[in-house]
Structure 1
Amino acid sequence: MLLIENLDDVPAGFGPSAVTVGKFDGVHLGHRGVLAQLTSLAADRGLQPVVVTFDRHPFALLRPDECPESLVSNDQRAALLAETDVSATLMLEFTREVSDLEPVEFSERILHDALDTRLVLLGADFRFGHRGAGRIDSMREHGKLYGFEVVLLEDVLVGGDRVSSTKIREHLAAGEVREAAALLGRYPRVRSTVVHGDAIGREIGFPTANLDPAMEGFLPGDGVYAAWAWVDGARYGAAVSIGNNPTFDSIPARRTEAHLIDTSVDAYGKSIELDFVEYIRPMVKFDGVPTLVAALTADVERIRALLADEASLAVENPG
């Protein structure tokens, strides 16, 4: 997939194209359904399927206090889009200049001039241009001017409900990683770097990889989770805790720690990715180290068994 981050970088003679426009935060099953419709129609008409999106939610610029936290970083989003059959993604910086484009300017400069668009796929609630003034009917009028057809997208439903990034955020904030995965079509994932911690885990027999708080992806709510950890391309089972570790009053800050099960790999300084599989329990203040160790031992035994079943299911159901 070709990733384009500036209109000036669109290759000369690019297109003709079929385009869909949206945030695509999370590239969830709803988005994948949209992309399947896009690529199918593009193939039928001999067009290049293209996603047009932006590097941030418009609220990040226009209403920052109301801006939702992103499910994925731009790099993660580009990688997920690259897993589809889309030919190119135009990920523009959302600047004040872009936000001030009138709807017809958006259609002319981006769809017609840059991408030689012949087909546009849009959801019923799509808005574009300055103050969201453009609607489906506006785009259809622009299509008459610039030679493209507008097709209304069908909603993608999971369990009878429309999939949304908002619903996925709600599930993750509540620790409901299974429910979030069902809407994402994959495990919820965060990516960070392993940094030095206070070594308490190592001292009590459960060494942990401490994640830099500046991570990519939406971190689930506080608790203990079963997860897969990826380090240097290898996958390890992991017991992950998110929270302030209430047993130790000296650790007031929220942190993310991953105990890699049945391995002694040194991950310090390396990139680590965590795929959250199952919520295990809430964070608890134990009455001492022996009680904590007993709980951690039980957690690891449960997670080891759970991930063994998960791995066998993954073999049986590779999709």
Structure 2
Amino acid sequence: MYIETIKREAYHSQDVLLAKPHVVALGAFDGLHKGHMQLVHSAVSRAAEAGISSCVFTFPQNPSFPPYITSDDQRIKLLKNAGIDLVVMRSFTEEFKRLSPREFFERYLIKRLNARMVVVGFNYRFGHKGEGSDETLRELCKSYGIGITVIPPVLYSDKPISSTRIRRAVEAGDFTSAADMLGRDFSVDGRVVKGQGIGALLGFPTANFELDKDRIMPPKGVYATKTEVDGDIYMSVTNLGGKPTIKKGIELIETHILNFGKSLYGKTIEVSFIKRLRDIQTFSSKEELSARLEQDVQSVKEFLDK
């Protein structure tokens, strides 16, 4: 899969970014939840039917957006697995925000992305201050002879699935609802960095995991998790916010991976949250802490081995 990033209007001197025609899926796609994935799968299938390539046009995560559910790397991985051929990420700059619906349509969908069909969600908005709706897009597509598919809402508990609902579920620690709407467990990814080594001294080495402060997270606590390392999945215990270590806006969380003895420094791992085990506690001795950690490990084994 090819990935293109457009940082500013002058980034490409030529008008055409894609020489060949594409089916283009449009949206922010934060979370890539079940509703998003229905849209993505529609773009892939329609591209296959037409014998052309599929493309997702979206935006990199930005501090001006609501706290994000999935990182750019996670979204790219999910889109690749879904069969998307190309991802184009356009920085959400002030310049871009000022484009009218028609300017966006003509400059990007027609000139740069060579769209032969577009696929959007039922509540899609575009252009300056969201002036354009799916109806606006229908009219523009009709005038240029481009096909359009509008995906209806996918419901959960009789309401449309949305990134906002998923954020609320994660913040409440409701991983069941979050997973039901996402179509997979809620997870975070990041690069392992060196910590203080306290866990190793207690017999429970941890992967100290960089966490972006702009990412949505569950409440502080100790969690049963699953950790993906180089494509393999391991049971794990994750401590979130127990002794927060802040370095330049980055909070570290600690994950003890069961039956794992390799060094992970510098590697990117992904931690999926399954169940809250307990609140953060203060212990009077290292022995008491070690005993509690052993109980946590046993709890994870009992829960995840079911």
| Bucket of the pairwise TM-score, normalised by the shorter protein | 0.7 to 0.9
2:220 aligns with 222
* Correspondence 1:1-16 to 2 at 5 A: 1-6=1-6, 8=12, 13-15=19-21
Shift of 1:49: 2.8
Cα gap change, 1:135/1:215 in structure 2, threshold over 3 Å: closer, same or farther? Answer: closer
Tell me how far 1:75 sits from its aligned partner: 2.0
Distance in 2, Cα, partners of 1:156 & 1:13 = 34
Aligned partner of 2:114 in structure 1 is 116
- Identity across aligned pairs (percent)? 34
Give the SS at the match of 1:5: strand
| d(CA) in 2 for partners of 1:290, 1:56 | 43
Kindly provide the CA deviation profile for residues 157-195 of structure 1, in whole angstroms up to 9, marking residues without a partner as x. Answer: 234332111121122222223332222222222222322
Q: Which residue of 2 aligns with 1:28?
A: 33
Unpaired segments of 5 or more residues in structure 1? 246-250, 310-319
C-alpha deviations, 1:10-62, integer Å up to 9, x for none? 655320x32221001121111111122233333444443322111235xx5xx
2:192 matches 1:194: yes
The answer (yes or no) to whether the contact 1:176–1:279 under 8 Å persists in 2 is: no
In structure 2, the residue matched to 1:317 is none
CA deviation map 1:202-254 (0-9, x unaligned): 33332222223448964432111112223344433211110134xxxxx6766
Contact 1:2/1:89 (8 A) holds in 2: yes
1:302 corresponds, among 291, 299, 304, to: 299
- Between the aligned partners of 1:216 and 1:306, the Cα distance in structure 2 is 30
Helix, strand or coil at the partner of 1:34: helix
Say if 1:30 and 1:155, in contact at 8 Å, map to a contact too.
yes
1:43-91 residue CA offsets vs partner (Å, 9 max, x unmatched): 444443322111235xx5xxx3xx3111122222111111112232221
TM-score (norm. length: structure 1): 0.82
CA displacement 1:109-157 (0-9 Å, x = unmatched): 1111222323222233221111211122322221233221333221112
Structure 1, 91-100 or 230-239: larger mean CA deviation: 230-239
| Shift in CA distance, 88/284, structure 1 to aligned 2, threshold 3 Å | same
Contact 1:201–1:207 (CA under 8 A) maintained in structure 2 = yes
Matched with 2:129 is 131
Residues 175-214 of structure 1 correspond to what in structure 2 (within 5 A)?
175-214=173-212
Secondary structure at the counterpart of residue 212 of structure 1: strand
Task: Output the TM-score relative to the length of structure 2.
Answer: 0.85
SS in 2 for 1:264: coil
User: Which residue does the alignment assign to 1:264?
Assistant: 261
> Using a 3 Å threshold, how does the CA distance of structure 1 residues 232 and 151 change in structure 2: closer, same or farther?
closer
* Equivalent residue, structure 2, for 1:312: none
Q: Number of matched residues?
A: 296
What SS is found at the alignment partner of 2:295?
helix
| Higher mean C-alpha deviation, range 204-213 or range 26-35 | 204-213
Distance 2:269 2:82 in 1: 24
- The reply on whether 1:41 has 2:46 as its aligned counterpart is yes
Matches of 2:261 and 2:5, distance apart in 1 = 41
Aligned residue identity for 1:209: A
> Measured at CA, do residues 233 and 215 of structure 1 come closer, stay the same or move farther in structure 2, by a change above 3 Å?
farther
- Once residues 229 and 148 of structure 2 are traced to their aligned partners in structure 1, the CA distance between those partners, rounded to angstroms, is 44
Cα gap change, 1:281/1:127 in structure 2, threshold over 3 Å: closer, same or farther? Answer: same
